Amino acid sequence: MSKQSAFLSFAFASERAAFAVGYCLSFLGVLYASLVLKSYFLTLFCVVGELVSLAYILLSYVPGGTRFLNLIFSMVYSGMKMLCGSCLRSSGST
């Protein structure tokens, strides 16, 4: 079995299939947004999705890597939730 086919079978395993498909779709989204639409913000959004998907796939090789990535995602999510919550509260009071 070649190294590329081994990686593809690992990346598209059932627990990582959503991230592998997300990577492929965001890769196509980057190409479409940058070459056809010429949209900076849509390209940036797709690049972030591509990086997150690729990081999840690659860190799943490392023992404890997905747990670490889930911890980082939960910290970012709670920080964004706290930040957006304070913005919404402050804008509602004015």
Kindly state whether residues 55 and 32 are assigned to the same domain: yes
| Exposed / middle / buried, residue 79 (Cβ in 10 Å: 0-12, 13-18, 19+) | exposed
Mean pLDDT by 10 residues, the chain (94 residues): 75 78 93 94 94 85 83 87 74 54
Q: How far apart are CA 33 and CA 45, in angstroms?
A: 10
Kindly state whether residues 9 and 35 are assigned to the same domain: yes
8 Å CB contact between 23 and 50? yes
Task: Quote the pLDDT of residue 50.
Answer: 93
Residue 83 structural domain = 63-94
Task: Quote the pLDDT of residue 61.
Answer: 79
Q: How far apart are CA 78 and CA 66, in angstroms?
A: 18
In three-state form (DSSP H/G/I as H, E/B as E, the rest C), the secondary structure along 26-86 is HHHHHHHHHHHHCCHHHHHHHHHHHHHHHHHHHHCCCCCHHHHHHHHHHHHHHHHHHHHHH
8 Å CB contact between 18 and 56? no
Domain count, the chain: 2
Kindly state whether residues 54 and 69 are assigned to the same domain: no
Kindly state whether residues 76 and 46 are assigned to the same domain: no
Kindly state whether residues 16 and 50 are assigned to the same domain: yes
Kindly state whether residues 33 and 6 are assigned to the same domain: yes
The DSSP secondary-structure symbol of 13 reads S
